Amino acid sequence: MRKLILGAVLASASLLALTAQAESLAPADIKAGQQYVELPAPVPVAQPGKIEVVELFWYGCPHCYQFEPSINAWAGTLPEDVSFRRVPALFGGVWNAHGQLFLTLESMNIESKVHSAIFDAIHKDGKKLATPEEMAEFLATLGVDKDAFLKAYSSFNVKAQMEKAKKLAIAYQISGVPVMVVNGKYRFDLGSAGGPQNALQVADYLIERERTAQ
């Protein structure tokens, strides 16, 4: 029960303003310390030479699920000089299991094909997907080979990626999800930005800021 309560708290951290009807932000309204914070030390990006946008998420987070249509549409319009990637937040328990699921699928180059179906399975169909076996059974219905998945799930490569994700969360100083980080320098969430659409406006603003600074 304690883990479930902790999960609910972390998933909702900094999101008290999420349900409010926020007004659209103008660039002049976006300020450090209000809509976003500047990290004390920049975090190296995965693709040097590109402006990186990271979304930290959890498959079990209802806010992340609600954010999916908006962020997917937005990510599909990003220019060539911007890279977008997801990083699972690992706060222990089922968070780690779901994070390992995501990183396994990523290592198999099939994450993009089943990502939405996993969110739907958890939030629409009530599946837990809390164990490798349960994950493998579900993924088999989507055409993913069970044995290949289970082998990848317990692989050294995926475990190494888990450690990297944990270190990123510490470096980004996150306490809940969904959270976005632009170019390893600026962190914000849906609550501080004033809602999903405003969060994407903040992302656009910070992307342009980084572009003009180069």
Question: Mind listing the pLDDT tens digit for each residue in 21-33?
Answer: 456 788 999 999 9
pLDDT at 10: 53
Closest CA to 57 of 167, 203, 189: 189
**Does some domain include residue 9?**
no
157 pLDDT above the threshold of 80: yes
pLDDT at 23: 66
**Does some domain include residue 141?**
yes
pLDDT at 11: 53
Domain ranges, residue 48: 44-213
20 pLDDT above the threshold of 90: no
**Does some domain include residue 202?**
yes
**Helix/strand number for the chain, H first, E second:** 9, 5
**Does some domain include residue 93?**
yes
**Does some domain include residue 54?**
yes
69 pLDDT above the threshold of 50: yes
Percent of the chain with pLDDT over 90: 86
Output the pTM of the full model.
0.90
DSSP string covering 67-124, please?
HHHHHHHHHTT--TTEEEEEEE---STHHHHHHHHHHHHHHTT-HHHHHHHHHHHHHT
212 pLDDT above the threshold of 80: yes
**Does some domain include residue 190?**
yes
5 pLDDT above the threshold of 60: no
pLDDT at 24: 79
Confidence class for position 91, pLDDT limits 50, 70, 90: very high
Alpha carbons 36 and 193: distance in angstroms, whole number: 7
**Does some domain include residue 154?**
yes
- Looking at the structure of the chain, the number of domains it has is 1
Mean pLDDT across the stretch 176-190? 98
| Mean per-residue pLDDT of the chain | 92
Mean pLDDT across the stretch 57-77? 98
Confidence class for position 70, pLDDT limits 50, 70, 90: very high
Query: Per the structure block, which two tokens stand in for 28?
Result: 């002049």
Confidence class for position 208, pLDDT limits 50, 70, 90: very high
Alpha carbons 105 and 177: distance in angstroms, whole number: 20
Task: Identify the CATH number of the domain in which residue 176 sits.
Answer: 3.40.30.10
Mean pLDDT across the stretch 88-100? 98
**Does some domain include residue 157?**
yes
